[in-house]
Amino acid sequence: VISGVDLHLDVPGRSLRAGLTIALREAVRSGRLPPGTRLPSSRGLAADLGIARNTVAAAYTELVAEGWLTARQGDGTRVARLASPQRAAVGPARPSAAGLPPAHDLRAGLPDVSAFPRADWLRAARRALARAPADALTYGSRLGRAELRTALAGYLARTRGVAADPSRIVVCSGATHGLMLLAAALRSRAVRAVAVEAYGLDIHRGILDDGGLETPLLALDGRGARVDHLPDLPGAGAVLLTPAHQFPIGVALHPERRAAVIEWARSTGGLVVEDDYDGEFRYDRQPVGALQGLAPDRVVYLGTTSKALAPGLRLGWMVVPDALLGDVERVKEITPLTTSTLDQLTLADMLESATYDRHVRAMRLQYRRRRDELVAALAARVPVAQVVGIDAGLHAVVELPAGLEDAAVEEAARHGLAVYGISRFRHPSAPPDRDAVVVGYGTPTPSAWSRALEALCRALQTVAG
Ligand SMILES: Cc1ncc(COP(=O)(O)O)c(C=O)c1O
């Protein structure tokens, strides 16, 4: 192949020529082959694909005629600049204008949903339904099914060191829903502001804002959030933290800071909201136990199945201090029920049968392997990039030389790769103190992973090489 590029074409099995034409057109349309890309010679591509040279030449001719490609003597065949590819959406997690998913997706926030344990879930669902009492088909308790709350109490104590009594566990529709309930409960207690980390999920800030709460920020450093600044934030009656694995920066809250934030909560009557979104996925060191275990009376613990299973399940939980339980119950009383009782029973079965643990363990190995490949590939090919936040989770932060973040995200899009710049997660009042991309290495399917990594390396080599 003259240009040496591997086009990764998946030629559908109709007429070879028609199939190749469709595959090439799609690769250009999606932005996977950016404008100006030099294609292999027809002889080279034919050899690559094991088809006749005339077939490739005919497909090229057709695409030149349609305006997707250009062919010039001495310059070979290239992707036309006028081809206006409908690029991958980069930025908010939504499909592109044409509704097409990006060719490569490294947006942080998703697990590899192709690994969802469908057979295990089905078996658990069948068992759960067979055993379910009649009242499981009624509205049931607003706090969640007792079976699930009991199973969660055991699981969270065992895996995360959470001090959980089933009576203080509230099942909700993902951690996000838990935060909504909590925002309302805090408002009813006249809390005015919830401090948040300088980097975090914009949707969480939005939920607090919508709940009428201010969100003053805490700076972050190598030891996590500057909780020592909490006393300087007037009206902050609570603080939202990601102590085990700061989202998205990736540091664990330092033990002294853990002690300090609990001391702050105890001395002021404040609350700590602990978002333990990916606590099960830790690779190189002992798991950092939940902060909640240190002070169950001052910490609200939020957990979710969104990383270990799938966000589409919308199943999460809160462990609520006794003193706040009444307020949360009152809020839940006036909000619609949001979680299916049958899904709750299914999850309870997966937890009790240790199927959940098995799945988490298997996924941990896979994500760890991807993490290692990411670190090795970037070290070899983009040495100016620093990969941080790699001890845990499904994403890593790739720090870039100053000023390169936007260019990196744009260049990635030219390679058909959707990836977030870290500025997306920055609090609006926080100073822009770093340039980085947040690489969600958990997102692709196993077969898509290496190509996504390749696209990332190429994009970063172009901007930083
Ligand atoms: C920081 C953080 N918290 C929580 C969640 C999970 O939210 P939910 O359980 O509502 O899906 C995510 C998922 O992306 C996250 O990134």
**Residue minimizing CA distance to atom 3 of ligand 1:** 277
Residues 6 or more apart in contact with residue 203 via CB below 8 angstroms: 176
Ligand 1 pocket test: pick from 170, 173, 176 the residue with the most ligand atoms within 8 Å of its Cβ. Answer: 176
CA of 311 to the centre of ligand 1 (A): 8
- Render pLDDT for 300-333 as a digit per residue (tens, 0 to 9): 999 999 999 999 999 999 999 999 999 999 999 8
- State the distance from the centre of ligand 1 to the C-alpha of 304, rounded, in angstroms: 7
Query: What's the pLDDT band for 2 if we cut at 50, 70, 90?
Result: very low
pLDDT, residue 446, reads: 94
Would you give the DSSP letter of residue 145?
-
Q: Which atom of ligand 1 is nearest to the CA of 311?
A: 11
Residue 293 DSSP symbol: G
CA of residue 246 to ligand 1 center, whole Å:
12
pLDDT surpasses 50 at 85 = no
Q: Which pLDDT value is given to residue 338?
A: 85
Per residue in 362-392, pLDDT tens? 999 999 999 999 999 999 999 999 999 999 9
Ligand 1 pocket test: which of 182, 201, 202, 397 has the largest number of ligand atoms within 8 Å of its C-beta?
201
Q: How many CA atoms lie within 13 A of 223 on its CB side?
A: 11
Could you give the residue ranges of the DSSP H alpha helices within 11-145?
Answer: 16-29, 42-49, 53-66, 118-131
pTM: 0.80
Which is the closest atom of ligand 1 to the Cα of 173?
A: 10
* Residue 269 φ/ψ region, left for φ over 0, alpha for ψ in the -120 to 50 degree band, beta for the rest: left
Q: What number does the ligand 1 atom closest to the CA of 200 have? A: 1
Q: What is the distance in A from the centroid of ligand 1 to the CA of 277?
A: 6
Q: For residue 60, give the 3-state DSSP assignment.
A: helix
Q: What is the pLDDT of residue 54?
A: 87
The residues lining ligand 1, judged by C-beta closer than 6 Å to any ligand atom, are: 109, 174-176, 201, 242, 247, 275, 277, 304, 306, 311, 316
Tell whether the model's pLDDT for residue 286 goes beyond 80: no
Residue from 363, 364, 350 nearest 119 by CA: 350
Q: Separation of 308 CA from ligand 1 center, angstroms? A: 11
| Ligand 1 atom 5, closest CA | 277
Mean pLDDT of 63-90: 70
In the reported structure, the alpha carbon of residue 81 is separated from the centroid of ligand 1 by a whole-number distance in angstroms of: 39
Closest by CA to 140, choosing from 332, 349, 352, 350, is 332
Residue 92 has pLDDT above 50, yes or no: no
Quote the CA–CA distance of 391 and 368 in Å, as a whole number.
Answer: 9
When pLDDT is cut at 50, 70 and 90, the band that residue 11 belongs to is low
Say if residue 113's pLDDT is above 90: yes
Burial of 302 (0-12, 13-18, 19+ CB in 10 A): buried
**CA–CA gap between residue 239 and residue 236 (Å, rounded):** 7
**373-377-380 Cα angle (round to 5):** 140
> Tokens 């509230």 — which residue?
170
Closest residue to atom 1 of ligand 1, CA basis: 247
Min mean pLDDT across 9-18, 79-88, 247-256 is at 79-88
Measured in angstroms, how far is the CA atom of residue 299 from the centroid of ligand 1?
18
**Span 140-162, average pLDDT:** 95
C-alpha 392 to ligand 1 mean position (Å): 15
256 C-alpha to ligand 1 centroid (Å): 26
